[in-house]
């Protein structure tokens, strides 16, 4: 069966289906650049008009801005769609006489927001915080429908010395229990983790069953970190994976000589050399490098969908075109060989 961007794909045993290509809203929160409201609305509308019916957002994106924008558009549409957001951060504001927890250390995977709303994030993965986060997201979205909840950015890279504290909140402090109760009550259809660290998903599977997880950047044409150990585990445990970061912060979608960001930072010379080796193979087959990048994760049976972001409607439509580009089977072995040929 040929999978296109709009092909429905089942999420484990939840009864929920999502389109093979999903739309993520981090760019609409001001990731790397300002996105005016009218432009953000146009992008979400373009995703809907292209037949995409899986939409992902998070309180973090634009410090609640993306959730507001998503709800504004989706509330106006009739028809079935799947919606996910994330828990683990509560949003607050500084005001006179109010003490806030100390500012958390800078997350190396958080690039900041150009046009975020005037709130500050407070990490909290406890039972009460998960329940409050769910309620807060419903209010910002202006809708009761939230199909999937992802525990956002739990992991040692994100939290460093505070990881054990936050992990205890999620496990001993009832965070997972809150998600289990929301699912049992029918308030959500499933839950999992939304992370850049596959190790966190592996560890979470020792604590509870997960329905679907969003993993960013760790299984891509350029970065195969999750391939050997984690993807077989996810498949064995029946965890559906929605993969983000398939362009590794844009380097696999940028034109030759364009922006060279890799995993939220400037790419080093070895990464640039790998990308150019991959590009040369794609040029030989007369296909865009981005088309190979967006389709590569779908070759693994553990992967249910790819989730992309876009700042403009034309970028969104271009992503759909790349996803639906026919690729010859022989290209994959040549891409693997090209990647292996570049040494650190």
Catalytic residue among 13, 32, 34, 86: 86
Residue 311 appears among annotated catalytic residues: no
Which segments within the chain are labelled E, that is strand?
8-11, 16-19, 21-24, 54-56, 82-87, 89-92, 120-123, 148-152, 190-195, 212-216, 240-244, 261-262, 265-266, 303-308
The conformation of residue 103, written as its DSSP 8-state character, comes to P
Residue 56 appears among annotated catalytic residues: yes
Q: Could you give the CA distance from residue 126 to residue 118 in angstroms, rounded to a whole number?
A: 24
Catalytic residue among 13, 34, 61, 219: 61
Integer angstrom CA distances of residue 59 from 3, 15, 101, 140, 147: 31, 26, 18, 9, 16
Integer angstrom CA distances of residue 51 from 4, 54, 109, 254, 344: 10, 9, 31, 25, 41
Find the length of the chain: 344
- What the block records as the tokens of 265 is 């930072």
- What the block records as the tokens of 257 is 């000589």
Integer angstrom CA distances of residue 291 from 21, 221, 283, 295: 13, 11, 12, 6
Q: Could you give the CA distance from residue 241 to residue 159 in angstroms, rounded to a whole number?
A: 23
Q: Closest by alpha carbon to 272, among 251, 289, 288, 255? A: 251
10 Å Cβ neighbour count for 220? 24
Catalytic residue among 56, 124, 136, 147: 56
The answer to whether the beta carbons of residues 217 and 248 sit under 8 Å apart is yes
Q: Closest by alpha carbon to 51, among 340, 300, 323? A: 323
Q: Could you give the CA distance from residue 174 to residue 70 in angstroms, rounded to a whole number?
A: 29
Residue 187 appears among annotated catalytic residues: no
| Active site amino acids | 56, 61, 86
């Amino acid at each position: 069966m040929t999978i296109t961007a709009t092909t429905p794909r089942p999420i484990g045993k939840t009864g929920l289906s999502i389109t093979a290509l999903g739309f993520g809203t981090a760019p609409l929160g001001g990731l790397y650049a300002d996105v005016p409201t009218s432009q953000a609305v146009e992008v979400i509308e373009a995703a809907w008009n292209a037949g995409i019916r899986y939409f992902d957002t998070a309180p973090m994106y634009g410090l609640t801005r993306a959730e507001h924008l998503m709800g504004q558009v989706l509330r106006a549409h009739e028809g079935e769609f799947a919606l996910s957001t994330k828990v683990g951060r509560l949003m607050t504001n500084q005001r006179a006489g109010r003490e806030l927890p100390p500012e958390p250390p800078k997350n190396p995977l958080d690039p900041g927001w150009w046009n975020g709303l005037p709130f500050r994030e407070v990490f909290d993965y406890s039972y009460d915080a998960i329940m409050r986060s769910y309620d807060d997201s419903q209010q910002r979205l202006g809708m009761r429908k939230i199909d999937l909840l992802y525990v956002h950015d739990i992991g040692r890279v994100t939290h460093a010395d505070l990881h054990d504290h936050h992990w205890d909140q999620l496990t001993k402090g009832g965070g997972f229990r809150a998600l289990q109760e929301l699912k049992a009550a029918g308030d959500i259809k499933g839950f999992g983790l939304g992370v850049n660290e596959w190790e966190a998903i592996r560890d979470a599977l020792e604590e509870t069953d997960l329905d679907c997880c969003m993993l960013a950047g760790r299984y891509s044409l350029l970065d195969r970190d999750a391939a050997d150990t984690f993807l077989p585990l996810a498949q064995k445990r029946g965890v559906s994976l929605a993969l983000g970061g398939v362009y590794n912060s844009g380097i696999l979608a940028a034109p030759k000589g364009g922006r060279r960001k890799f995993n939220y930072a400037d790419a080093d010379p070895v990464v640039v050399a790998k990308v150019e080796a991959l590009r040369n193979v794609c040029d030989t087959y007369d296909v865009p490098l981005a088309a190979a990048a967006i389709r590569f994760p779908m070759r693994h049976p553990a992967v249910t969908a790819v989730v992309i972001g876009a700042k403009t409607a034309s970028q969104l439509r271009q992503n759909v075109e790349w996803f639906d580009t026919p690729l010859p089977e022989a290209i994959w072995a040549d891409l693997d060989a090209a990647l292996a040929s570049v040494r650190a």
